Amino acid sequence: MKKSLIAALTLAAGAAFAFPTKPITIVVPFAAGGPTDKVARDLAEALRKPLGGATIVVENVGGAGGTLGANKVAKAANDGHTLLLYHIGMATSPALYRSLPYKTLDDFEFIGMVNDVPMTLIGRPTLPANNYAELVKWINDNKGKVNLANAGLGAASHLCGLLFQQKLGVEMTTVPYKGTAPAMTDIIGGQVDIMCDQTTNTTAQIEGGRVKAFAVTTPKRLTTPALKNLPTLDESGLKGFDVQIWHGLYAPKGTPAPVVEKLNAALREALKDPEFVKRQEALGAVVVTDERLTPAGHKKFVEAEINKWGPVIKAAGQYAD
């Protein structure tokens, strides 16, 4: 008998409902120290209290744009103790991979969305360009030689970089990493040229002057102090450029409904935690407060994102086996 069924029957029999009964693992499908990892660690901290002081650990399972970690959670015990924090890759990977080892909408319980995160176009500090116009000139002068870092097919940096190349009409050499934390190390060190990455990873580096920042990917400028002077790609000439990513929390399919409800209630509490909200704002992210914070609203949004990005990705003609 499946574990979830046993749990459901136990609950139906009126047994005391205890969750969690052991440490909870949040799988981050990217490298430690990167943008998604930062969100996950802050979230783990904020979830502890609403989950009765539970131990919550973060496990980094990077690779293949986040699909390796997602697959691990899809196949994990469905008792609510193994969760996944994944971003827009949840919605873009069905179009990017010809044979994804899990079904995005069928193999998970949707717990709720966490945040919306803008992205920034950054470059190595030694680039001879100091603003977006100079960057475009440098890219055009160096056609065939420009390196673009990303975190693999399915990563937000991949999607953003793909659209950037497409709208600019220039092909670059992409350098894939297990997450944008190691990619950032190479940008800072000057080994790769440019990257489009989430503000949760770039804000501190921009603030510290360790990378050059050229533009933001949202249609509107941002208000975060370190980012507020950056132009949008749209106003800089890439009309209609609009990439904003998001994170959501998932459990394996079949996790008992009372557990999903408890996790959702804990998530709602966590997202109200002033420390969590402050941290996210400082990193340029916006905490979700709308209907996407319900399991049904979360799933509906991911479905809409799959329908939104699928044709864009297909038009860009990029996919993997």
Q: Which residue, 11 or 188, has its beta carbon nearer to ligand ASP?
A: 188
The answer to whether the Cα torsion of 269, 270, 271, 277 is positive or negative is positive
Sorted by sequence, the CB contacts under 8 Å of residue 227 that are 6+ apart come out as 120, 199, 203, 206, 213, 216, 284
Question: Minimum Å distance from CB 6 to ligand ASP?
Answer: 35
Asked if 271 contacts 288 with a C-beta cutoff of 8 angstroms, the reply is yes
> Could you tell me which of 209, 211, 208 has the C-alpha nearest to residue 196?
211
Question: Minimum Å distance from CB 84 to ligand ASP?
Answer: 13
Q: Which residue, 34 or 118, has its beta carbon nearer to ligand ASP?
A: 34
What is the DSSP code string of 28-92?
A: ESS-TTSHHHHHHHHHHHHHHTTTTT--EEEEE---GGGHHHHHHHHTS-SSSSEEEEE-THHHH
Q: Which residue, 4 or 198, has its beta carbon nearer to ligand ASP?
A: 198
Question: Minimum Å distance from CB 257 to ligand ASP?
Answer: 30
Question: Minimum Å distance from CB 214 to ligand ASP?
Answer: 17
Containing 10, the helix (H) or strand (E) segment is helix 3-12
Q: Which residue, 51 or 227, has its beta carbon nearer to ligand ASP?
A: 227
Q: Which residue, 63 or 112, has its beta carbon nearer to ligand ASP?
A: 63
Residue 30 burial (CB count, 10 A): 34
d(Cα 262, Cα 69) in Å, to the nearest integer?
23
Question: Minimum Å distance from CB 65 to ligand ASP?
Answer: 7
Question: Minimum Å distance from CB 124 to ligand ASP?
Answer: 17
Q: Which residue, 35 or 50, has its beta carbon nearer to ligand ASP?
A: 35
Using CB under 6 A, list all residues that contact ligand ASP: 30-31, 34-37, 87, 151, 155-157, 179-181, 198
